[in-house]
């Protein structure tokens, strides 16, 4: 009886799968019609706000037992594949394949997007600025090793805006050809990844030099060519480059989160759960720090992050980067920024975008 019941249930699953397939194709036909209308009316090819509405509506309707995170991941791919029926989104990222930036891009845009690997963060900005990519994905900070300075510097001269942020839980692995620690005579990775694993390296591979690589995936490529080389990179990089894991999850912190920014020619509209990022240089005077922060405190605006970088233009001249809750279209946010602007040598709004949970 139990075997017959199992066969009956499997048959029912097959029928449901057939129905899902038919509905997906019906949906795809409607998406194509929508695309034709967007072309005719010269509307934006990609609408992040519409995608967000779809995901939030479905999440609110889901009563289970289908897991909510998995539902979002499934529909992320449906939306990505549907958009590719018009044309794939082009997304530039710090390559080669299997970097954490690549993984963050796939989390945001799905597998059907066309990912364009480039050699540097500067090249990511260039691809988007010249219209060769719709979006770019760049790292901005890590919960353990702090800000990615080069990304901050790129915003000084770029007119691109922040369109979204991505939070990616990062696990670092020590990988090489043999999977044996004793074979590793030198290690390649990027400086932030090395900083995230400092304690583990000192305990397990003290004296082994840790050298800079352009990316974690490039480090994996180097390890694939030399048995004496280890790389600190993702598990995805190990699989892609045919390497073994010599040390699994070697990051020092159990909560190792990297934040990435999506850059684009413009920022999205208001969602009600937004963040605004600005950069500015303030006049050097007594009480400058108070002058800088007072407008936000008095407007009851929560500040999420503050970084300072030398401007490179003259000694002791700094550029500040500030993240706050709210959207530039919010009256209190706009008013606070205008008050700050009065005491600045320059101020640039980098973008308002949905806050990642």
Task: Please state the φ and ψ torsions of residue 248, each to the nearest 5 degrees.
Answer: -95, 135
Burial class (CB in 10 A: 0-12, 13-18, 19+), 332: middle
What's the distance, CA 329 to chain centroid? 24
The DSSP-derived string for 79-102 is HHHHHHTT-PPEEEEESSTT-HHH
Nearest Cα neighbor of 156 from 193, 121, 105 is 121
260 catalytically annotated: yes
C-alpha 94/C-alpha 92 separation (Å) is: 7
Answer yes or no: are the C-beta atoms of 252 and 223 closer than 8 Å. no
Measuring CA to CA, which residue among 149, 157, 148, 118 is closest to residue 136?
118
242 CB contacts (<8 Å, ≥6 apart)?
A: 224
Between CA 275 and CA 252 the distance in angstroms is 29
Catalytic entry in 125, 260, 280, 321:
260
213 HSE (CA, 13 A, CB side):
27
Longest dimension (CA), the chain: 85
User: Distance (Å, rounded) from C-alpha 124 to C-alpha 104?
Assistant: 14
| H-run or E-run covering 287 | none
Distance of alpha carbon 314 from its chain centroid, rounded?
32
Out of 99, 151, 258, 276, the active site residue is 258
Q: What is the DSSP letter of 176?
A: E
Task: List residues bridging with 210 in a β-sheet.
Answer: 187
d(CA 349, CA 162): 9
Catalytic residues: 258, 260
């Amino acid at each position: 009886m139990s075997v017959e019941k199992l066969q009956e249930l499997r048959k029912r699953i097959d029928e449901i799968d057939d129905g899902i397939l038919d509905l997906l194709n019906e949906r795809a036909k409607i998406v194509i019609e929508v695309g034709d209308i967007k072309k005719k009316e010269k509307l934006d090819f990609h609408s992040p706000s519409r995608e967000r509405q779809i995901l939030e509506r479905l999440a609110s309707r889901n009563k289970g037992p289908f897991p909510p995170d998995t539902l979002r991941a499934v529909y992320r791919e449906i939306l990505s594949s549907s958009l590719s029926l018009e044309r794939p989104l082009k997304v530039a990222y710090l390559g080669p394949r299997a970097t954490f930036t690549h993984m963050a891009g796939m989390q945001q845009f799905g597998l059907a997007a066309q990912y364009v690997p480039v050699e540097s963060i500067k090249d990511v900005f260039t691809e988007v600025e010249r219209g060769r990519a719709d979006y770019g994905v760049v790292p901005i900070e890590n919960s353990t090793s702090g800000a990615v300075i080069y990304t901050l510097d790129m915003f000084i001269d770029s007119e691109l805006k922040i369109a979204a942020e991505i939070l990616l839980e990062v696990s670092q692995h020590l990988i090489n050809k043999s999977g044996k620690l004793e074979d590793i005579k030198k290690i390649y990775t990027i400086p932030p990844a090395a900083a995230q694993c400092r304690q583990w390296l000192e305990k397990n591979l003290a004296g082994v030099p840790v050298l800079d690589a352009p990316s974690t995936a490039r480090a994996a490529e180097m390890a694939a060519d030399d048995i004496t080389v280890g790389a600190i990179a993702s598990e995805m990089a190990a699989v892609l480059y045919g390497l073994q894991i010599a040390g699994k999850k070697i990051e020092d912190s159990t909560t190792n989160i990297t934040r990435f920014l999506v850059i684009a020619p413009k920022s999205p509209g208001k969602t009600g759960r937004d963040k605004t990022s600005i950069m500015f240089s303030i006049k050097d005077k007594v009480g400058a720090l108070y002058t800088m922060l007072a407008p936000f405190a008095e407007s009851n605006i929560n500040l999420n992050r503050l970084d300072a970088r030398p401007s490179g233009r003259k000694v002791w001249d700094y550029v500040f980067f500030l993240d706050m809750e709210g959207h530039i279209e919010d009256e209190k946010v706009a008013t606070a920024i205008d008050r700050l602007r009065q005491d600045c040598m320059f101020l640039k709004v980098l973008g308002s975008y949905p806050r990642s949970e």
